[in-house]
Amino acid sequence: MINKNKIVFFANTLWFLEKFKYELIKNISDTHNVICIYLREGPTLNKEKIKELELKRNVKFYSILDFFFSLLSSKLVFINKSNKKNNYIKIIIFNIGPIIISLLLPLHYKKNTVYVLEGLGRIFSSKLIFNLFIKVLVTKIYKFLFKRCNLVYVLNSYDYLFLVESNICKIDKIILLPGTGINCKNIDASKKIKREKTKYIDYMGRLITEKGFYKFILCKLNFMKYYPELDQKYIFRIISPREDINNLSKDEIDFLNKLNIQLKPYLVEPFHYYNESKALIVPSSYGEGLSRVVLEASYFGIPILATKIRGIEEILQNDYKYYIKSHNPFCISQQLANLLRDENYFDKIKEKQKIYIKNNFSINNSIEIFTSNLFKN
């Protein structure tokens, strides 16, 4: 029996690994023993896909506590220092929490560590004084870790530039990925319902300020006042993790109900929501790597009103007509009204946009670039 090299994936949530890294894990498990470690389960996930990886691919999943208990009880061999050739490890780390925890890794692991910045995140996009302080600290940690690691993957050119100009990482150590990659075949198979009776104006994301949650609500208020004829035709809808919805107060929920804004939890796959969506509003200032929601919605042909920021600029073309011009909610409502009346524009661009996404951001593209660089060194 061949003793395969070990690959470790370490992420914030099991949901993240299942939702965004399933195909990558599946691909790498063909030739390597894969261990997946996570801090918590996270939102609703597809447990069948986890079981498939465990049973058919022999992928091991551990919460961080279970992993350490296994190490202590010697049930799990992380590395055999007497036989490094057969137990050579790549440690692939995602998300800010696991990246910071990797400070605890012994020095001889660091040269085999690969970091994936799915985006600079909330800390780097927030203007709160506390987060500005944390940003300075995290920047120092990144600089320490990235100078000692094997590779750093980023999902957009802005993040690449930031790491280089801030002297956090050497330019030749960074690889630009076309995002996590979307499975175009799965999306095409999900389009069983024709998008003819779409009636929802959607916000899909975390209920946090940087994602533009409050801008969306205030846009609805202005829309009701200034465009009542359109407001009667469409329903505003917020789609978010159930834990975020549960954290809303009764007064907040009552307020949303009075505005006729529906609250819906994330589904394992959001395709059902996309098939019902008339338009998507993405008023985000969040420092994500590449907006998965914008990728999927744009591939579906859904009209999008979005902020022109990193992680979105790569997806929507530079001359895209409906970038948000002002973050005044009144102005957003104006643009939304124009967007809803401009069906000819979206009919004209949707096929070109779909081809662009398929050619540049497919799961196959992402995996090929990721793996070809992962095993170079």
* CATH code assigned at 104: 3.40.50.2000
Residue 1 lies in a domain: no
Residue ranges of the chain with per-residue pLDDT less than 70: 1-4, 70-88, 191-196, 268, 377
Q: Could you tell me if 246 and 147 lie in one domain?
A: no
Sheet of 277-282: strands edge to edge? Answer: 262-265, 235-240, 200-204, 277-282, 304-306
User: pLDDT averaged over the chain?
Assistant: 89
Q: Could you tell me if 166 and 20 lie in one domain?
A: yes
| Confidence at residue 194, expressed as pLDDT on a 0 to 100 scale | 65
User: How many domains is the chain built from?
Assistant: 2
Name which of 206, 184, 213, 181 is nearest 290 in CA terms: 181
Q: From CA 169, how far away is CA 163, in angstroms rounded?
A: 6
Quick one: tokens of 26? 């599946």
CA-atom Rg of the chain in angstroms? 22
Residue 51 lies in a domain: yes
| Confidence at residue 192, expressed as pLDDT on a 0 to 100 scale | 60
The alpha helices in the chain, defined as continuous H runs, are 14-28, 47-57, 64-72, 96-101, 107-110, 121-125, 129-146, 157-165, 184-190, 213-226, 228-231, 242-246, 250-258, 271-276, 292-300, 329-340, 343-360, 363-374
Q: Could you tell me if 21 and 158 lie in one domain?
A: yes
Residue 225 lies in a domain: yes
Q: From CA 303, how far away is CA 340, in angstroms rounded?
A: 8
Output the CA angle 102-75-38, nearest 5 degrees: 35
Residue 164 lies in a domain: yes
* H-run or E-run covering 365: helix 363-374
Q: Could you tell me if 231 and 139 lie in one domain?
A: no
| Confidence at residue 82, expressed as pLDDT on a 0 to 100 scale | 46
Residue 56 lies in a domain: yes
> Are 42 and 16 in contact, with CB atoms under 8 Å apart?
yes
Q: Could you tell me if 96 and 232 lie in one domain?
A: no
Quick one: tokens of 230? 């359109």
φ/ψ of residue 22, rounded to 5: -55, -50
| Confidence at residue 71, expressed as pLDDT on a 0 to 100 scale | 63
Q: Could you tell me if 188 and 210 lie in one domain?
A: yes
Strands 151-154 and 174-176: parallel
CA dihedral 147, 157, 204, 38 (to 10 degrees): -20
Q: From CA 165, how far away is CA 348, in angstroms rounded?
A: 39
Torsion 156-158-163-169 (CA) sign: positive
Q: Could you tell me if 245 and 333 lie in one domain?
A: yes
Torsion 190-49-90-67 (CA) sign: positive
Q: What three-state secondary structure class fits 83?
A: helix
Q: Could you tell me if 217 and 175 lie in one domain?
A: no
Q: Could you tell me if 177 and 228 lie in one domain?
A: no
Q: From CA 23, how far away is CA 352, in angstroms rounded?
A: 26
> Are 101 and 40 in contact, with CB atoms under 8 Å apart?
no
Q: Could you tell me if 173 and 190 lie in one domain?
A: no
Residue 70 lies in a domain: yes
Q: Could you tell me if 246 and 154 lie in one domain?
A: no
Q: How far is CA 60 from each of CA 3, 51, 243, 377, rounded to the nearest angstrom?
A: 16, 10, 26, 25
Sheet of 151-154: strands edge to edge? Answer: 60-63, 33-40, 6-13, 89-94, 113-117, 151-154, 174-176
| Confidence at residue 186, expressed as pLDDT on a 0 to 100 scale | 81
| Confidence at residue 366, expressed as pLDDT on a 0 to 100 scale | 93
Q: From CA 368, how far away is CA 360, in angstroms rounded?
A: 12
Residue 155 lies in a domain: yes
Q: Could you tell me if 138 and 85 lie in one domain?
A: yes
| Confidence at residue 2, expressed as pLDDT on a 0 to 100 scale | 45
| Confidence at residue 287, expressed as pLDDT on a 0 to 100 scale | 81
| Confidence at residue 54, expressed as pLDDT on a 0 to 100 scale | 94
> Are 230 and 340 in contact, with CB atoms under 8 Å apart?
yes
Domain that holds residue 268: 184-360
Name which of 353, 283, 359 is nearest 320 in CA terms: 353
Residue 275 lies in a domain: yes
